[in-house]
Amino acid sequence: MNKLNQNLQLTIALTILTLLSIGCSNQNQSIEDKNKAIISNMIEEAINNQNFELFDEILSPDYIRYSQSMPPGLEEIKGIETYKGFIKDHFKAFPNYKEEIVQMIAENNKVFIITKGTAKNTGPIGEMLPTNKELTIMNFGLFELENGKIVNMWVSWDNLAMQRQLGLSPS
């Protein structure tokens, strides 16, 4: 009977451990799914629908956007209001800009995306006059999230391809 009791206790312990490990892996998955949903919402609502107030909800107050594709002085954009101003300026140059998520991968608190951006340049880009040309560009972004907010974003794209499409660089 003692052997039967030991086997029963071992079976119960293994069952509890299995259930705990399943619960932990599901919790990890739900964090990744939640983070992917935040990034999808940012692209669809804040960018494509130009709902810039959404940035107040999804960006951390300490938010930083990094991009070596930007001109000097804009490689790091710090803070929600500064980022919203940058995005609003982007839409002055490309009012019909839309992004489509091509690929999204999440691991723990990071989400990587590849997007395809399309637009027509009908407004000035800094001191450059509008070209009235269509643009299709692939963007790459890595997001770091904490407590349901985007803390850091690293983005890159092919500036030469963009300049060629806009007629700003020789083909």
Is 170 a domain residue? no
Identify the CATH number of the domain in which residue 6 sits: 3.10.450.50
Q: Is pTM, for the whole model, over 0.85?
A: no
Is 140 a domain residue? yes
Is 45 a domain residue? yes
Dist. CA 50–CA 96, nearest whole Å: 10
Is 102 a domain residue? yes
Q: Which one, of 143, 120, 140, lies nearest residue 32 by Cα?
A: 143
Higher pLDDT, 74 or 92: 92
Which range has the worst mean pLDDT, 14-18, 22-26, 81-85?
22-26
Is 108 a domain residue? yes
Length of the chain: 171
**Gyration radius from the chain CA atoms:** 23
How many domains does the structure of the chain reveal? 1
Mean pLDDT score across all residues of the chain: 89
Query: Region 5-14: what's the mean pLDDT?
Result: 69
Give the residue numbers spanning the domain of 111. 2-165
Predicted pLDDT of residue 97: 97
122-165 confidence digits (pLDDT tens): 999 888 899 999 999 999 999 999 999 999 999 999 888 999 99
Dist. CA 49–CA 5, nearest whole Å: 63
Which range has the worst mean pLDDT, 24-28, 48-52, 132-136?
24-28
What would the two tokens of residue 23 be? 């619960």
Query: Region 79-104: what's the mean pLDDT?
Result: 96
Long-range CB pairs of 114-123 (<8 Å, 24+ gap) are 114/138, 114/139, 114/140, 114/141, 115/43, 115/139, 115/141, 117/157, 119/94, 119/95, 120/94, 120/96, 121/93, 121/94, 121/166, 122/93, 122/94, 122/95, 122/96, 123/92, 123/93, 123/94, 123/95
Is 77 a domain residue? yes
Is 171 a domain residue? no
Q: Does residue 24 have a pLDDT over 60? A: no
Higher pLDDT, 9 or 83: 83
What would the two tokens of residue 116 be? 């395809």
What are the angstrom distances between the C-alpha of 27 and each of 46, 60, 108, 110, 146?
27, 22, 10, 15, 15
Dist. CA 157–CA 136, nearest whole Å: 11
Predicted pLDDT of residue 170: 78
Query: Region 33-47: what's the mean pLDDT?
Result: 97
How does residue 30 score in pLDDT terms, banded at 50, 70 and 90?
confident
